[in-house]
Structure 1
Amino acid sequence: MAAPFQLSFSSSFLPSPLPTTAKSAAAPPLRRFHVLCSAASSTSDLPKKKHWKAGEYPAQIQTSTTQLPKRRTPIKNIKKKLDNKNNAKAWVNTVTESLSDAIDKKQWLRALQVFEMLKAQPFYRPKEGTYMKLIVLLGRCGQPGQACQLFDEMLQEGLEPTAQLYTALLGACCRSNLIDKAFFFLEQMKALPHCQPDVYTYSILIKACVDATRFDLLESLYDEMSERWITPNTVTQNIVLSGYGKAGRYEDMEKVLTRMLESETSIPDVWTMNTIISLFGNDGQIEMMERWYEKFRDFGIEPETRTFNILIGAYGKKRMYDKMSSVMEHMRRLSFPWTTSTYNNVIEAFSDVGDAKHMEYTFDQMRTEGIRADTKTFCCLIRGYANAGLFHKVISSVQLAGRLEIPENTSFFNAVLHACSKAQDLMEMERVFKRMKDKLCRPDSTTYSIMMDAYRKEGMSDKVYDLEQEMQGMIAKTESEDDVGDIEDTSPDVNQVLSV
């Protein structure tokens, strides 16, 4: 057994530098990132650019002005398959593929619309897998009400619920912080012989409690798991470990680590390592992050791509570009690929300080290497250009996101609202806010904070008051959705499930 693992914050271990590599002529793209070593360039002397015109966001996409990289001609057999697929006239293939495409692109509203079209066809038969994918999608897109309604429709179609379907529904509630509703579904599961909760069900609930700092519920969940002979696994313990760390409860975090070392089912792994170093990295405690990185290595835990991405993100936030570049070189030397998260961390580092030059250079290299950008990529780009005062490039970034079909979530709209506020364009900010609501994307506290700050700077106290009232209404609506009494009107009760 490994030596006792002590979580001591007065450790005698000296922070060990991360491994670096010598210059190599074999990897020229790698050395290009040595621009990261220089301090973020000042953008104060950049020429002022014309702001967007009224109503220009969302601008109409002109596909002819910016050409995307051409795809290579497919080989003969693949091209033949694609031609056959494109020539197919069957309505069945079209609807099912459209549904799959909408789910893959996380377009929940379009997915529901296509699903309604599918149900209207004579060949339609309800399938558990289809409902599972849709419920998971709705949960990820912050639509727990739609997930509950879909679950109810599934029961009406004669499908029997399963533990997996209930866990997906429970997870959809947890993602929107509807903990009471999640516990309500847990009680339903326990009342059904074939839908008993498992370790994954409890892990999702535990994560929701941790995220909401409801640590008082953790012990009761652990006790309930013990009564049901369900042993917490490493994933469950890592969730609790992360929650205690974020809350600054280091003594409780040490107890969890000790239990993990004494257990045979929840021993520390690379995720444990990632959890600990990310806690210190996000808190800006670089020396402690490096120290624990070396400690976990001494325990025989090898890093992975995510581990290095955590280190890169932490160094980037502290503007330690030398070490950020060193980790990226180390990844190349060990044949770890640079991923979307890797590039996002570098782009975010330059975005925060408005270094448009290096941010743009990194994004160009990302696309050159064929790494797919995601919503966070464009959030960072939009904020970075706004911080640099390059508002015309905010528009081009939004247009490019549209061409690449990047999902527009709350964070995306918040980034555009931030740009409007920076440009002092309140009319455009209101248009973006309206579009956000039209897209059924729920505003959060950051959304209202950005807008209220913009109105305060202009002395528009009446607008600030209206937003405060609207925000309170949103909070009240969320609380009403979390009320168990309302749940019984819109979701299946135990008797209804048993009768199916």
Structure 2
Amino acid sequence: MFFLQLFSWSKKQSWYQPNARLYTRLIGFLGREGQVSRATLLFQEMLLEKCQADQYTYTALVNAYGKAKMFKEALAVFNYMKECTEPNCQPNTVTCNALIDALVKGGRYDQAVETFFDMRDGTNGLEHGCKPNVVTYNVLIDALCKEGLVDIGVRVLQYMREGEEKETVAPNSATYNTIIDACGKGGLYEKAESLMEEMVEHGVQPDHITYTALLGSYGKAGLWESAENTFKGMKGANVTLDVMAYTAMIDAYAREGMYEKAEELFKTMQQSGIRPNQVTYLSLIDAYGKAGLPEESKTVFNTMQAAGYEGNVFVYSALVDAYGKAGNYLEAAKMVDLMRQAGCQPNLVTYSAILSSCSRSNSCEEAHVLLQSLQASDSEMERILYKVVSESTVSDELWEDVSKMFDELTRQSNSARISFCNSLLDILWSWRLGQRASRILQLARAKAVYNDSFYVFTKSEWCLDLHRLSVGAAMTMLMAWLGELHHAWVWGEDVPETVVIVSGKGKHSRSKVSALKAPVDLHLAQLGSPFTDVVGNCGRVTASGDAVQSWLLSPGILQRLKLVDEQIPQFSHSKLLVK
């Protein structure tokens, strides 16, 4: 803190004169360093010294409070600026951007969007000098993408370029990279491709971040060949192959269980003088885990620690997943215990790994060894999860607790919530606890974990899109949807021309063949449905609306669609022996 020491020394000198600009710069510096208390004290000292604060001073305070997640204080300063009659104290675009950035990082997306619209429309005290610039749009788009609202983010991008002439703002590489990265994380590779093409058309040069995001989109979509071609093409495009690019490519191999290719690229990376980071090691651990080689995953973990990296919740969760997929539930449980000993608290990723692993077991009793690891902490969520899956009956009181648990999930990312619910529905469906699965699905939809995008209704076609779901989640949603169609027609809804079910490439599928196709087709056949494959598109089945209506309104079909708990858990509840 040399600057503060120099400032303290200068105040003691006879020639010292209080200076507002110097105070403002020091407040900004302390805010960036996260020392908000000292920044506040310095601001108070500034006022006592009769130095006039201006919009730069107040903006520095908004930044400081935002970084410290003191949103009430940040909004208080911002509102004071809006009400201030001094022209040089009113907020400007930079101030608004600082507030929006703080709100976004705090998950307060509604307030961030509200501030943006006030900037755009010149309302609520932002009539002068607060028009959105490219930074504003980038922060807003980033917020929308973090919430999984990529389509809205794309529309904001279009508005930037094509809105009213006086309001158009040219997107830069950061704008495109944010959306392409979000598409990558959502597996929307076609949208990522088109955005990259559009980026070039508008004279914005793709950089290594753009290519890495595209690599990620191919990897998450299971298109490792496309990722490989992009990776090779980066050299020809004079784009730097850094640790991020190598890691994205290793991850693409890992998702397909192609551990040999991942291992080879990892060695090439090291030979090129590029040091792997924690995410690189995590991807290699995942590659061995997907291939059913948990001991190799553990070896990579040991190598990672020797390289100076500590395990985090994602690394330990990957090890739990690796041993769980291999059916070694005792070792998976030991990984959970080791994780806690290392000071890492399990999160949704860990719970997803535990539940998903248990759902694959042919023996509930064997899987219970791992499931009992949820009893080893004082976590309310873990207690609820364990009881929902293992109790012989689920009381109304427990269902109230489950509902509160879903309220807590709103703080998590959209992708983490969907993955968790997929895994929970997997184990309930696999263990033939259909009634519980149905209740969980209802809550997941009510709490917007599964949004309306899974249901597509037009006048001519009703469609259920399952391709982003796991098997258990897809089967539960299929049965719920068919029941809803039955009730819709009982109450006189018009019949569409066609009814379509999309299984596509399942969320957990690691091959070219959909993981959902076979179970969906088999279940529909067992129910005697009229659905048949779409010619040339094996990921879709279709039937005429009249045929589906006739089938769903036939005697006894509604009873067959009702999900029940066929297998009530019976466990010994012995203590888990983990050393």
TM-score by length of 1: 0.58
CA distance in 2, matches of 1:173, 1:260: 32
**Does residue 379 of structure 2 align to residue 400 of structure 1?**
yes
Q: Render the CA deviation track for 1:387-435: whole Å, top value 9, x for unaligned.
A: 5525674974897263897756232233332333234333322332333
- Displacement after TM superposition at 1:209 (Å): 5.5
- Displacement after TM superposition at 1:296 (Å): 2.3
| Corresponding position of 1:223 | 200
Q: Go from structure 1 to structure 2 and tell me whether the alpha carbon gap of 1:434 and 1:394 turns closer, same or farther (over 3 Å shift).
A: farther
- 5 Å-filtered alignment, 1:123-272, equals 128=96, 129-135=98-104, 148=113, 151-152=116-117, 155=120, 156-157=123-124, 158=126, 159-174=130-145, 181-190=152-161, 191=165, 195-208=169-182, 211-214=187-190, 217-218=194-195, 220-226=197-203, 230-244=204-218, 246=221, 248=223, 250=225, 253-254=228-229, 257-260=232-235, 263=238, 266-272=239-245
User: Which of 423, 433, 437 is residue 429 of structure 1 equivalent to?
Assistant: 437
| Corresponding position of 1:358 | 331
| Corresponding position of 2:556 | none
CA distance in 1, matches of 2:307, 2:253: 24
The 3-state SS of whatever aligns with 1:214 is helix
The 3-state SS of whatever aligns with 1:309 is helix
Q: Go from structure 1 to structure 2 and tell me whether the alpha carbon gap of 1:178 and 1:464 turns closer, same or farther (over 3 Å shift).
A: closer
| Corresponding position of 1:465 | 482
- 5 Å-filtered alignment, 1:79-98, equals none
CA distance in 1, matches of 2:470, 2:287: 28
CA distance in 1, matches of 2:199, 2:262: 29
Q: Render the CA deviation track for 1:252-311: whole Å, top value 9, x for unaligned.
A: 853653444552xx3110111112222222222222222222222222222111111111
Aligned length: 355
- Displacement after TM superposition at 1:441 (Å): 2.5
- Displacement after TM superposition at 1:473 (Å): 12
Contact 2:218 2:252 in 1 (8 A): no
CA distance in 1, matches of 2:167, 2:477: 56
Q: Match for 1:205: what amino acid? A: I
Q: Go from structure 1 to structure 2 and tell me whether the alpha carbon gap of 1:220 and 1:380 turns closer, same or farther (over 3 Å shift).
A: closer
| Corresponding position of 1:281 | 254
| Corresponding position of 2:40 | none
- Identity among equivalent pairs (%): 18
Moved more, 328-337 or 203-212: 203-212
Higher strand share: 2
CA distance in 2, matches of 1:467, 1:394: 37
CA distance in 1, matches of 2:501, 2:373: 29
Q: Match for 1:411: what amino acid? A: S
- Displacement after TM superposition at 1:100 (Å): 7.8
Q: Render the CA deviation track for 1:15-68: whole Å, top value 9, x for unaligned.
A: xxxxxxxxxxxxxxxxxxxxxxxxxxxxxxxxxxxxxxxxxxxxxxxxxxxxxx
Q: Match for 2:420: what amino acid? A: F
Higher relative contact order (CA 8 A, sep 6+): 1
Structure 1: unaligned runs, 5 residues or longer: 1-80, 82-95, 105-110, 476-500
Q: Go from structure 1 to structure 2 and tell me whether the alpha carbon gap of 1:184 and 1:225 turns closer, same or farther (over 3 Å shift).
A: same
What root-mean-square deviation, in Å, do the aligned CA atoms of Structure 1 and Structure 2 show? Answer: 4.5
Bigger Cα Rg: 2
CA distance in 2, matches of 1:441, 1:163: 31
CA distance in 2, matches of 1:170, 1:455: 31
Structure 2: unaligned runs, 5 residues or longer: 1-36, 38-61, 83-90, 384-407, 455-465, 488-498, 503-579
Contact 1:351 1:381 in 2 (8 A): yes
Q: Render the CA deviation track for 1:136-162: whole Å, top value 9, x for unaligned.
A: 6669xxx8x897556335653325323
User: Which of 255, 262, 273 is residue 300 of structure 1 equivalent to?
Assistant: 273
Moved more, 200-209 or 336-345: 200-209
Contact 2:294 2:319 in 1 (8 A): no
Q: Go from structure 1 to structure 2 and tell me whether the alpha carbon gap of 1:149 and 1:433 turns closer, same or farther (over 3 Å shift).
A: farther
CA distance in 1, matches of 2:294, 2:271: 26
| Corresponding position of 1:72 | none
Contact 1:234 1:260 in 2 (8 A): no
Contact 1:274 1:310 in 2 (8 A): yes
CA distance in 2, matches of 1:469, 1:269: 55
- Displacement after TM superposition at 1:235 (Å): 0.9
CA distance in 1, matches of 2:133, 2:266: 41
